[in-house]
């Protein structure tokens, strides 16, 4: 399968995304906001439709709307501190509703549909460079803010008392999450990206007892799932994004059965 250029690109993009998405996912899971990826990926569809209507790159439209939605979720969380999950439901509902309305005005319906389940085997040069740049940005930022993100993940109030610039770190993390989700939606699909963000972390938590090991194992699991999914999709003629998710779900089920 590596004789084909599109498969080499798919593996490169898939492994790069599998290396950075769990870095975002670990923090999201520990902050009890596992569904935020789902909400942002659904709202990115509104940006895709907007981009198709305005004649600009759909990914750019998705990035703009997703970043705005990320800050909106953070704002609503502060208004309802005891019910933070309500912010995710509100933004997801608004995003899906807006995407449904705007999609009716989009001329290129096939372009909009491709964002639902992704098209990792049809990556353009621009999208390839975009993923490479995003991967470097997310990994570098995650390493620089590693200690701060760890503190915030477990106890945001305690981190603030310890002198961690919580507001600044949350601001940067929100932008990184929005960028990652919007770009990953193009490759693996808006309906699937949240699964790739959460399931590898869930698998890693079955075998790790520290924050660092959870991050490392999450990346390892995500890369393995991506390789298995792309390989099976090529030889069995399946959709890559869905195959990656099913492989990860099966692994999670097995891990729950073999380790108490």
For 197-253, how does the pLDDT look when each residue is reduced to its tens digit (9 = 90+)? 889 999 999 888 888 999 999 999 999 999 999 999 889 888 888 888 899 999 999
pLDDT at residue 77 tops 70: yes
Query: Tokens for 242?
Result: 């869905």
For tokens 């492994």, what's the residue? Answer: 15
Task: Pick the closest to residue 23 from 226, 197, 151, 183 (CA basis).
Answer: 197
Whether residue 131 contacts residue 187, with contact meaning beta carbons closer than 8 Å, is answered with: yes
* pLDDT tens profile 159-189: 888 888 888 888 888 888 888 888 887 777 7
In a domain, 221, yes or no: no
Inside any domain, residue 217: no
Domain of 19?
A: 5-195
CB 24 within 8 A of CB 176: yes
Average pLDDT value for residue range 77-100: 82
Which one, of 148, 167, 194, lies nearest residue 71 by Cα?
A: 167
Q: How far apart are CA 144 and CA 219, in angstroms?
A: 18
Average pLDDT over residues 71-90: 81
Question: Is residue 83, in this structure, part of any structural domain at all?
Answer: yes
Residue 142 DSSP label? H
**What pLDDT score does 132 carry?**
87
Residue 242 in any domain: the answer is: no
- How many other C-beta atoms lie within 10 A of the C-beta of residue 13? 26
In a domain, 245, yes or no: no
- CA 204 – CA 202 distance, rounded (Å): 5
Q: Look at the chain and report how many structural domains it folds into.
A: 1
Full-model pTM = 0.85
**Is residue 234 one of the residues assigned to a domain?**
no
Query: How far apart (Å, rounded) are the C-alpha atoms in residues 157 and 166?
Result: 9
In a domain, 72, yes or no: yes
CATH of the domain at 92: 1.10.3470.10
Examine the pLDDT at 121 and tell me if it is beyond 60: yes
Assigned domain for 218 exists: no
């Amino acid at each position: 399968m590596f004789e084909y250029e599109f498969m080499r690109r798919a593996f490169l993009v898939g492994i790069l995304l599998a290396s950075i998405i769990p870095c975002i996912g670990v923090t999201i899971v520990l902050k009890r906001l596992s569904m935020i990826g789902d909400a942002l990926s659904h709202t990115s569809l509104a940006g895709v439709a907007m981009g198709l209507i305005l004649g600009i790159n759909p990914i750019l439209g998705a990035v703009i709307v997703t970043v705005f939605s990320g800050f909106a979720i953070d704002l609503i969380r502060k208004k309802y501190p005891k019910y933070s999950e309500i912010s995710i439901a509100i933004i997801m509902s608004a995003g899906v509703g807006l995407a449904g309305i705007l999609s009716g005005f989009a001329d290129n319906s096939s372009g909009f549909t491709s964002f639902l389940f992704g098209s990792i085997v049809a990556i353009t040069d621009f999208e390839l460079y975009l993923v490479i740049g995003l991967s470097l940005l997310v990994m570098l930022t995650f390493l620089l803010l590693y200690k701060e993100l760890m503190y915030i993940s477990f106890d945001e109030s305690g981190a603030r008392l310890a002198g961690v610039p919580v507001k600044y770190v949350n601001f940067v993390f929100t932008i990184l999450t929005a960028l990652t989700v919007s770009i990953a939606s193009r490759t693996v699909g808006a309906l699937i990206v949240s699964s790739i963000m959460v399931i590898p972390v869930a698998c890693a938590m079955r075998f790790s007892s520290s924050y660092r090991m959870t991050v490392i194992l999450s990346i390892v699991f995500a890369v393995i799932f991506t390789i298995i999914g792309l390989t099976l999709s090529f030889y069995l003629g399946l959709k890559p994004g869905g195959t990656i998710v099913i492989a990860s779900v099966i692994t999670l089920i097995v891990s729950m059965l073999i380790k108490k």
